[in-house]
Structure 1
Amino acid sequence: MDYLTACCTVKDEAPIIHEWMAFHIAAGFDRLVIIDNGSTDGTADIIRGFGAADKVDLIDWPGPGTQVAMYEHVATRYRDRTEWLAFIDADEFLYPTDGMDLRETLAAMPDVDGIGVHWHIYGSSGHIEGQPGLVIEAYQRRAEDNFTFNRHIKSVVRAAKIVKVYSSHLVAPAAGMVDDAKCPLHLDPPYGFFEHKTASHTRLRINHYHTRSAAEYRVKAGRGYFGVDDEKLASEQRFQSMFAAHDRNEVFDDSALRFAPAVREIMARARTVQAHLPA
């Protein structure tokens, strides 16, 4: 039985998924469960060719679908296969505020069944085009701690205790949710957003690279959301408005760089494995 598993839904995430997998293995995940929603850019091939393939489960989910349905599927399938399940996206990097291993952080919270981990929204760092190298190196500027959008959470829950997937942000056990400082989180709408609560990053944090460069955000706008058109980025006006709202660069924060050596090593091993695979 695994201790810590990540569930991630993807669609055309080839530019970032290799680093995302390597980063989360480096941060302490035992297993990555990735649901591919009909990618056409080679995302699934990158996942299949990952060097630590024994740590990655790829689920094919073609056609329209909601993250709630995908999360419900994983919650049911993995409830007896892992102690903890984290539900995060491919542009979200979860790690301990201090230290290197998420498993140690979670083991220090034995009386908790569900944790809401707050975002740190990272902006473009002034980049117009996508940058070579690692995302955690190219984008090191974020919003201030009290930025409103940081009040969103993503869920890390004891798998066997999950009773309901409320939204892509909120997956809850019967005992309810707390933040990483053990402050209770309500289970009321809007699920997973706590407008009147300051974001906590006491033990855990998620770097949310929502925009990256302006060019990458435009690609994101054209991709859609798992076959469901929620019109967030449907027009140029909406695109510009959403980019401006999330392109926050007030604070320099390179804390994720402590994982860079391990991430590069894991990615290099993956490429070595791929090079020796039969054509």
Structure 2
Amino acid sequence: MMKDEGPYVLEWIAHHLAVGFTDILVYTNDCSDGTDDMLIRLEQLGLAHHRRNDIPEGIRPQPSALSYAQEDPVVQAADWLMVFDADEFLSIRHGDGTLDDLIAAVAEQEANGIVITWRIFGSGGVIDWSRDPVTEQYLMAAPTTWNKGWGVKTLFKFDADYWKLGIHRPKLKNKVIDTAFPDHVKWLTGSGKVMDDYFKFRGWRSITRTVGYDWVQLNHYAVKSVESYAIRRLRGNVNNKADKYNPDYWALQDRNEVRDDTMLRYTGRRDAIIEQLLTDPVLHRLHFAALDRVEARLAEIRQTEAYANLRAGLEVASKIPISQITAKPPQARDKEKIAALMSDVEKRRNAKAKDERKAEPKEPADVMPGGLYLPGPLDAAEDIALEWTANHMVELPADPRIFTPQALALIGAGRFERALARRLPGLLPPQGRLLDIGAGCGFLPAQLARARGGLQITLIEDDPGLRATLARVIARNGLAGRADFVLSDDALPGEAPATAALVAQHRPDILLLSDPRLAGDPLTALVAALDPLPAIILITGRLLEHGFPSLGPAEEALAQRGYAPAFGFEPSVARGFARAGGAAPA
């Protein structure tokens, strides 16, 4: 569904032809910028299908268009089908980035659909209008863990006898709900895992156990630049939401925490298609007329007080940390109303799935350490507005580009790595050299430096996002420039002898090992190669998480070098080892 998307039509069409769609059907209503004329010309060239969305009184544009599309011959003849909008661009990571490869992978699992989660892309700090492609201008996005951006669209195998089109996902027709047909519906998540059974019947967004971006995502460019946003405020939208384009909406959609340039894989194919399209004189004229029209309108509004106020308001909204964004539905979720709408079949299936989840064996809470950091490499080069919270004696940033949702909750509550932060200052010897390899955000060394003196602390961290965060933590907590607290320029070598030589260079009395690249055989080899031997070795953080539960060989190597388990930490918190003559084990 489109309305006044003239500047973007050719990019959107060319991109999705490059992705591999064979038929693109667009409904327009009340266009004033030539969008409909461009689509009519594309239809004449055999590259798209255009329909007028004549909207009945009291009906919103999107449901109206879907009602028409349900009976349209192009839709009726579709094999695989997906409903999405002009500010949404499909981005496929799987295979060669085409629908052919994606659908083949889905079919290989004997599935007939894939639920694709939104990835919210923000302005990236872009203010001015530009003719450059949307998918190249805006490369900053919300973290994959940000659940307020988890709306979905569905690519599925279509059969008009069974399915009714929907905005986010199709709906089973009533006549087939209580038949064997739902048993044959198998949809996957965006990571290629089997989707929960409940989603066959209802739902419009992913949840923690169903979200996935490994195979495919739907890039949602809801705001674009400040000036693009200003233009959108001057017209309606496909759902007639009069108050949609305001600073609150901007703050919600202008998420720029993580760089994602996967879309650039399509640049060559897309540009070749656009170049071919513009050889048609009619499309060429309509396309550049749309660009000229929007730029002329911008020249007018830039002189107005309304534009100045809007720009100032959006600048303030852009500075709101992601941790402070609230996004409440317009109507509270009514569980009783939802239950009343459910068919008996749906209720039985949901109850069965719930019982099956309850029956699954649960791992003991202390068996597997919880992840505090997102998988690397991480990108936190840009110094964005973040909420800082005191955790013991160290302030930490609630940075969703770096920390998992679990860790963000702990930071907000002042409980990040609380068990170690409480005990380490009293357990370690009063003097000595401490080397932390894989220091992460630097919380534990910073806590030691703030809580007590006497230690010479050196930190090594290679991941660029964590290193940038570590530098900010050091500066925020007054540790920059201290001779006894040093962020080293050293990098972790690839082989154990070189790593052992690096350790020997710093001659630590206390060695903290947290880098996940040491997990498995590298850790065992490093222990065997250490010379001289530190008095204390602690295995923590990402190394413990990624190396668990295969620490047996490393523990045997430590025993052979004269180390014994020490300090009595919970296995999921840390593993401590001390040599005879080192610190007295607790």
Q: TM-score range by the shorter chain?
A: 0.7 to 0.9
Higher relative contact order (CA 8 A, sep 6+): 1
Kindly indicate whether the alpha-carbon contact (under 8 Å) linking 1:124 and 1:213 is maintained by their aligned counterparts in 2.
Answer: yes
Q: How far apart in 1 are the matches of 2:75 and 2:200?
A: 24
1:15 aligns with 2:7: yes
**Which residue number corresponds to residue 62 of structure 2?**
67
Q: Distance in 2 between matches of 1:118 and 1:150?
A: 8
One-letter amino acid of the counterpart of residue 225, structure 1: N
Question: Shift of the alpha carbon at 1:164?
Answer: 2.9
Counterpart in the other structure of 2:280 = 273
1:147 matched to 2:146? The reply is yes
Cα distance, 1:91 vs. partner?
0.8
Structure 2 match to 1:216:
228
The answer on whether the counterparts of 2:189 and 2:210 sit within 8 Å (CA) in structure 1 is no
The structure-2 alpha-carbon separation of the partners of 1:121 and 1:26, relative to structure 1 and needing over 3 Å to count, comes to same
**1:217 to partner: Cα distance:** 1.8
Q: 1:164 maps to what in 2? A: 164
Q: Which amino acid aligns with 2:258?
A: V
Contact 1:121–1:246 (CA<8 Å) still a contact in 2?
yes
Q: Tell me the residue number matched to 1:122.
A: 121
- Residue type of the alignment partner of 1:116: V
2:39 counterpart (24, 47, 63): 47
The structure where helix makes up a greater share of residues is: 2
Tell me, yes or no, if structure 1 residue 89 matches structure 2 residue 85: yes
State percent identity of aligned pairs: 24
Query: Cα distance 1:223–1:171, how it changes in 2: closer, same or farther (>3 A)?
Result: farther
Equivalent in the alignment of 2:49: 57
Larger C-alpha radius of gyration, 1 or 2?
A: 2
**Would the aligned equivalents of 2:140 and 2:256 in 1 still touch at CA under 8 Å?**
yes
Q: Give the superposition deviation at 1:244.
A: 0.8
- Tell me, in whole angstroms, the C-alpha distance in 2 between the residues paired with 1:171 and 1:202: 23
CA distance 1:151–1:189, shift in 2 (3 Å):
farther
Aligned 8 A contact 1:153 1:193 in 2: yes
Structure 1: which 5+ runs fail to align?
A: 1-8
Q: 1:130 to 1:32 in 2, by over 3 A?
A: same
Aligned Cα root-mean-square deviation (Å): 2.7
> Which residue of structure 1 lines up, in the alignment, with residue 252 of structure 2?
245
Partner Cα distance (2:43, 2:200) in 1: 41
Q: Which residue identity does 1:261 align to in structure 2?
A: G
1:276 Cα deviation after fit: 9.1
Contact 1:96 1:105 (C-alpha < 8 Å) held by counterparts: yes
**Cα distance change, pair 273–82 in 1 and its aligned pair in 2 (3 A):** same
Relative to the length of structure 1, the TM-score reads: 0.84
After superposition, the Cα gap between the structure-2 partners of 1:71 and 1:113, relative to the gap in structure 1 and judged at 3 Å, is farther
Q: CA deviation at 1:58?
A: 0.5
Letter of the 1:264 counterpart: D
Could you tell me how far apart the structure 2 residues matched to 1:215 and 1:253 are? 22
Partner of residue 6, structure 1: none
- The answer for the alignment partner of 1:183 in structure 2 is 194
Partner of 2:268: 261
Comparing 40-49 and 169-178, the one that deviates more: 169-178
Greater fraction strand: 1
* 5+ long unaligned stretches in structure 2: 173-181, 287-586
